[in-house]
C-alpha cells in the first residue's frame, strides 16, 4: 500500500510541475478596464501580455499561428482574408486530425472597425 501511495504522490507531483509550466505560457489578451494598458481616453484597444494562469472566462485572446492554448475558445476573427483556420484539439478530445473553424464574416468586419489595424501590429 505504501508503494501505491508513493506512486500516486510522484505522479501528482509531476502533474503539478507540468501545470505550473503550462500556466506560465505567455498569451496576448485584449486590455480591459482596470488593466494598466487600458486607456479609455485614447479610444484605442490594445493587447497586453499575460499568462494562461491570468486568463478568465470572457477574455479576448490573440492566438498566433502554431501557438497552443489549452482551453475551449470561440473564433471571433482570422487575420487572413479567408475566415477559416484549422485547430488541433488533441489535448481536449484526444482526436489527432485538424478541425476547420470558421469566423463569422460580419463579426470579423465589426471587430476590424473596433480594433483597427494598429492593434493587429502590437
The pLDDT tens digits for 28-57 are: 888 876 666 676 666 667 888 989 899 888
- CA separation for the pair 40, 117 (Å, rounded): 18
In the chain, where the domains are located? 25-121
The pLDDT tens digits for 97-121 are: 888 888 777 777 777 666 655 444 4
pTM given for the model:
0.65
Q: Is 115 helix (H, G, I), strand (E, B) or coil?
A: helix
The pLDDT tens digits for 65-93 are: 877 776 677 888 777 777 778 888 776 67
User: Average pLDDT for residues 19-25, to the nearest whole number?
Assistant: 89
Beta bridge partners, 61, equal: 29
- CA separation for the pair 12, 16 (Å, rounded): 6
In the prediction, which pLDDT does 121 show? 42
Return the number of other C-beta atoms located less than 10 Å from residue 103's C-beta: 19
76: nearest Cα among 111, 24, 38, 30 = 111
In the prediction, which pLDDT does 40 show? 62
| 25-121 CATH fold | 2.70.150
Amino acid at each position: 500500500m505504501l508503494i501505491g501511495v508513493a506512486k500516486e504522490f510522484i505522479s501528482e507531483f509531476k502533474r503539478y510541475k507540468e501545470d505550473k509550466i503550462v500556466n506560465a505560457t505567455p498569451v496576448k489578451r485584449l486590455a480591459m478596464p482596470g488593466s494598466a494598458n487600458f486607456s479609455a481616453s485614447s479610444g484605442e484597444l490594445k493587447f497586453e501580455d499575460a499568462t494562461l494562469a491570468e486568463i478568465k472566462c470572457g477574455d479576448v485572446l490573440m492566438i498566433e499561428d502554431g501557438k497552443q492554448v489549452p482551453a475551449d475558445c470561440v473564433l471571433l476573427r482570422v487575420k487572413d482574408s479567408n475566415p477559416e483556420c484549422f485547430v488541433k484539439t488533441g489535448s481536449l478530445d484526444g482526436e489527432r486530425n485538424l478541425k476547420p473553424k470558421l469566423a463569422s464574416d460580419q463579426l470579423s468586419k465589426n471587430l476590424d472597425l473596433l480594433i483597427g489595424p494598429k492593434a493587429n501590429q502590437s
